[in-house]
Structure 1
Amino acid sequence: MTTLYNPLLNGFHPDPSVVKVGEDYYLATSTFEYLPGIPIHHSRDFENWTLIGHVALTEAQLGIADVPTAGGAWAPTIRFRDGVFHVIITVAMARGMLHFTATDPAGPWSKGEVILGVDGEESVNGIDPDLAWDDDGTAYVTYSGLIMSGAQLGAHLGVQQVKVDLDRHIALEEPRSLWSGTGLMFPEAPHLYRHEGHWYLMIAEGGTERGHGISIARGDSPEGPFEPAPLNPLVSARSTSRPVQNTGHGDLVVGPDGDWLVVLLGVRPRSMTRAFSALGRETFVTSVRWVDGWPEIDPVELRLRPGTAIIEDFDGTESDGDELDGEWIAVRRSPAGLADLTSRPGWLVLRGDGSTMDDAHPVFVGRRQQHLTNAVSARVDASAGVGGLSLRYDERFHVDLEVGGGSVTGRAVLGGLRQEWIHPFEGDVLDLHIVSGPPEGDGGFPRTSDIIRLAATIDGERVELGEVDGRFLSSETTESFTGRVIGAYAVSGTFAVDRFAAEGHDE
């Protein structure tokens, strides 16, 4: 029996889409302003997942060098047909709707072709595209009609569809409107499925916040008309006490034991009123049953994995030769262009360019925070530059430990507010620590997600610099679509990291 761990993928992994090919499963998720973009995870048992590659390794494939925060790679759909893997995605506020192909899901993937509108001039204007084929091979792109450019910017036209020539990457018709849900806001994340003689159109609606849910309709053609299911929404956590909230944006698949499953996003909020989700939107899974021609989806249950520990010594054991492994990500540029693993063997060297964590293009490489109780330590050398360790949501919300100029500085940047704690330090090598965990002494009614503590170990003595209320680095406060990412950064000169260790659990 398959173990349905939840989260299926811990940490910042929103908008999941999955495809089954033989006995193998491949899962794609959103990455927004981070590179490499669109990770592909593989599993055979739906329990153990391995990152095997990314669709986009370079900025040019997505065009996100100057994308605003919250823009970038939104909501991929991954599909397989005639020996070819397909990923279709909207790169919001950048290149538009893109189509990627590969014969090996680990890559390399194509450069990404823009799917043009029927006039052949601009991208199809919408988000969350799905790709499906009917029996005669006609390709359908079904998407959420959120207008991302032009005079109607921000308008929502509901769920729309076009037939597409995938060789020329051009729509063959003007967009048509389809069933757009039960009337809740933001009908999005459509997926089309053929099952037992019917076409099913599954969508998310209610917004990707607490009102999120999944609804479905069916018809005799991929173009509709569609009849809504009698029990919509099929799944939603709104107005419930479930520990996993915001459940929606799902994709159906047949599981390893022959039963149906749905992968979907959700959050794990904490605090007295469950108001703050520190890790952002994660990937979850739950069971599906077909009853009288309609799917029924079980509520998403929390079933935690054991804790994890990652130690990176930059000696080639964890990293892939002279490059960081695929779990390392950077902001609007590739980690490979920032991380030097060869000039000082056994060390990660970053070269500052004057940017800081306040900037859109920091010299920063990090990893997703995977657990609600989490500790990261890094042994660093600031003898030839200024840099540090940062816990980032975006350029307006981050917590840093910076070394250089005769001091260690703890810093909290929270939406324009700044606070610093300074401790003198004239040496070269020291250990930096960012630890997050549940608040203490709250009488059983915590009013935040967690507490973030900043510390440094200098000459064998641990110095506590300061602490930050974790609610300020949650998806609800930052209004971010991403999640917490922790890593090293450089401001000026060369900043080197000898060892990076992260361990955590969710108990």
Structure 2
Amino acid sequence: MNYRNPVIAGYYPDPSVVRVDEDYYLINSSFEYFPGVPIFHSRDLIHWTPLGHVLTRQSQLDLRTTKSSSGIYAATIRYHAGRFYMITTDVRGIGNFYVTADKPEGPWSDPILLPHGGIDPSLFFDDDGRAYVTVQNGAGYESHIIQYEIDPVSGKVLSEPVNIWSGDEGPWVEGPHLYRIKGVYYLMTASGGTSVDHREIIARSSTPYGPFEDKPEPILTHRGLKDHPVQCLGHADLVEDTKGNWWAVFLGMRPVEGKYSPLGRETFLAPVTWTEDGWPMIDNNEGTVVSAAECSAEVSIQRMELSGGFGPEWAFLRSYEEERYSWTERQGSLTLRGNAYTLDDEAPAVLACIRQQHHRMELGVSLDFDPVREGEQAGLAARLNNRGYLFWGLAGRSGSRVMELVVKNGEQRQVHRYEVSGHGPVQLRLHSDGLFYVCSYSEDGVTWHVAEEQIHVSVLSPEVNGGFTGVCLGLHASGDGAANASPAYFERFYYSNTKGDVL
């Protein structure tokens, strides 16, 4: 089977997958973005179509006070007796819970809370119908895996949690999954943290509670291949295809120059082989997990009409306030009204965004915005978190309308301004060649003015400014302290890979 990795590019970490007949469904972590838990569909494990999100209502997920890289951590999707289950952790929120649905596209139930464990809970349904929650507990080198039984209908806990495994003595034994394969129980987890020492490890037993026999080396890692273009492999989930072959989905990172990963942790795919003595293997420092080489390629442009609603790939920062977005106020445009928050705030600022999926890319939009109050802003944003972002758009300053470039890099915040006429639409572009982001604007669509400042990719990389996400790109508006900003009208939004990047 031919395929190109990553199979889902951009900030889509911690994948979990389930097969139902000939259909595959995959979910990812979403952290502080709303709706929570993106869900995809595939018929071949290679081509994935976004269906939307699992957690779409505030009654399921309230992120309004969630800090960057908190919120929804690793989730697991499973299917049992005609029903879908999604189990996850709302970190610093309601904790561990699960929701259920008859169909993967929902609607999904309100949360059923669970009392035990730290992060990354998983569900396992045994052949006898018993349901087990397998979940990380403790922190750092004290991390271990606990397990207990529940009634999956009511969520009632049927047994006390039992410590079943401590992994390979590395820090952050997490992301556990329990499987029964040919009568053997396999317990698989990540270890080492999600940086360059990340790895996937496994143990097995004749019972779901162990004792477990450890496989002495990882089944998936590139920690010994520091120069490999794909790093940080781990946090895997296994699935059997319709022909009896086994596959793994897992996260990986594609650092630029081996240092910076603005795309964050992405979803990769690899075949699983089985040793003669019954262990699954994926890639233990062999380098068989590779990404599509960056080479000459046709440009692919995604034009997203801003006149009829957001597609399933869109997300919002902490909350979707419906009254901030209008599809009818001006025909053919999306109207945004900023609130009091900016991208500096760990608060629900107005940001509608998609994931950056290519190192070399271009983002563009036409913006008509006449700020009335001092500090009002509207334009394009590239956000890693509140420590690393850039904004490029129109702003009100000293009674005039100006082009403004805001760059946040850790504790430093720089603002650069350019003259622009006092009225009329402006076309905005944000371009990346993989190492630098470059901003430009045009008032007539012919003559383009390029900002002098080039923003190095490190500004938007978790290696420098922290966190568990990757860059999200989109439309931002702010009143900069005022609860209701002047309307900003966006048209002709597009996202494109640029020539030289396959993915």
TM-score, normalising length from structure 2? 0.90
Q: Which residue of 1 aligns with 2:380?
A: 389
Q: Which residue of 2 aligns with 1:79?
A: 78
Decide whether the 8 Å contact of 2:88 with 2:120 is kept in 1: yes
Letter in 1 for 2:353: G
Residue 420 in 1 paired to residue 415 in 2?
yes
Residue 470 in 1 paired to residue 465 in 2?
no
Q: Sequence identity of aligned pairs in percent? A: 37
Cα distance in structure 2, aligned partners of 1:178 and 1:303: 39
Residue 350 in 1 paired to residue 339 in 2?
no
1:429 to 415, 425, 437: 425
Letter in 1 for 2:407: A
Q: Which residue of 1 aligns with 2:262?
A: 278
Letter in 2 for 1:128: D
Q: Which residue of 1 aligns with 2:51?
A: 52
Cα distance in structure 1, aligned partners of 2:379 and 2:67: 25
Decide whether the 8 Å contact of 1:210 with 1:245 is kept in 2: yes
Give the secondary structure class of the aligned counterpart of 1:171.
Answer: coil
Q: String of CA shifts for 1:67-107, please: whole Å, max 9, x gaps.
A: 12111111110000110000000111101111110110011
Decide whether the 8 Å contact of 1:58 with 1:334 is kept in 2: no
Residue 498 in 1 paired to residue 459 in 2?
no
Give the secondary structure class of the aligned counterpart of 2:59.
Answer: helix
Cα distance in structure 1, aligned partners of 2:207 and 2:27: 27
Q: Name structure 2 gaps, 5 residues minimum.
A: 479-484
Q: Which residue of 1 aligns with 2:482?
A: none
Q: String of CA shifts for 1:165-199, please: whole Å, max 9, x gaps.
A: 22332333332111222111110111011111100
Give the secondary structure class of the aligned counterpart of 1:62.
Answer: coil
Decide whether the 8 Å contact of 2:16 with 2:28 is kept in 1: yes
2:273 to 273, 289, 299: 289
Cα distance in structure 2, aligned partners of 1:435 and 1:265: 26
1:454 to 431, 439, 443: 439
Decide whether the 8 Å contact of 1:5 with 1:304 is kept in 2: no
Letter in 1 for 2:465: T
Q: Which residue of 2 aligns with 1:366?
A: 353
Residue 101 in 1 paired to residue 100 in 2?
yes
2:305 to 290, 313, 337: 313
Cα distance in structure 1, aligned partners of 2:242 and 2:371: 53
Cα distance in structure 2, aligned partners of 1:226 and 1:155: 19
1:180 to 150, 153, 166: 166
CA separation of 1:23 and 1:336: change in aligned 2, threshold 3 A:
farther
Cα distance in structure 1, aligned partners of 2:207 and 2:300: 47
Letter in 2 for 1:293: G
1:129 to 118, 121, 124: 121
Letter in 1 for 2:134: T
CA separation of 1:336 and 1:324: change in aligned 2, threshold 3 A:
farther
CA RMSD of aligned residues (A): 1.7
Cα distance in structure 2, aligned partners of 1:457 and 1:279: 28
Point out the more displaced range, 450-459 or 6-15. Answer: 450-459
Cα distance in structure 2, aligned partners of 1:389 and 1:280: 20
Point out the more displaced range, 9-18 or 160-169. Answer: 160-169
Cα distance in structure 1, aligned partners of 2:323 and 2:75: 25
Q: Which residue of 2 aligns with 1:403?
A: 394
Decide whether the 8 Å contact of 1:335 with 1:365 is kept in 2: no
CA separation of 1:69 and 1:112: change in aligned 2, threshold 3 A:
same
Cα distance in structure 2, aligned partners of 1:308 and 1:327: 17
Deviation at residue 47 of structure 1 after TM alignment: 1.8
Q: String of CA shifts for 1:284-317, please: whole Å, max 9, x gaps.
A: 011111122111113422136966321122234x
Deviation at residue 384 of structure 1 after TM alignment: 5.3
Point out the more displaced range, 302-311 or 285-294. Answer: 302-311
Letter in 1 for 2:271: S
Decide whether the 8 Å contact of 1:324 with 1:339 is kept in 2: no
Q: Which residue of 1 aligns with 2:135?
A: 143
Count of residue pairs the alignment pairs up: 473
Cα distance in structure 2, aligned partners of 1:20 and 1:277: 30
Letter in 1 for 2:341: S
Deviation at residue 155 of structure 1 after TM alignment: 8.4
Cα distance in structure 1, aligned partners of 2:429 and 2:242: 41
Q: Which residue of 2 aligns with 1:216?
A: 202
Q: Which residue of 1 aligns with 2:223?
A: 238
Give the secondary structure class of the aligned counterpart of 1:140.
Answer: strand
Decide whether the 8 Å contact of 1:86 with 1:101 is kept in 2: yes
CA separation of 1:103 and 1:280: change in aligned 2, threshold 3 A:
same
Deviation at residue 51 of structure 1 after TM alignment: 0.6
Q: String of CA shifts for 1:146-177, please: whole Å, max 9, x gaps.
A: 46xxxxxx884411111122233233333211
TM-score, normalising length from structure 1? 0.90
Q: Which residue of 2 aligns with 1:121?
A: none
Letter in 1 for 2:354: R
1:326 to 287, 290, 312: 312
Residue 228 in 1 paired to residue 217 in 2?
no
Q: String of CA shifts for 1:384-441, please: whole Å, max 9, x gaps.
A: 5631111011122110113032210111011121222211112220111111113xxx
Give the secondary structure class of the aligned counterpart of 2:463.
Answer: helix
Give the secondary structure class of the aligned counterpart of 1:477.
Answer: helix
Cα distance in structure 2, aligned partners of 1:112 and 1:354: 30
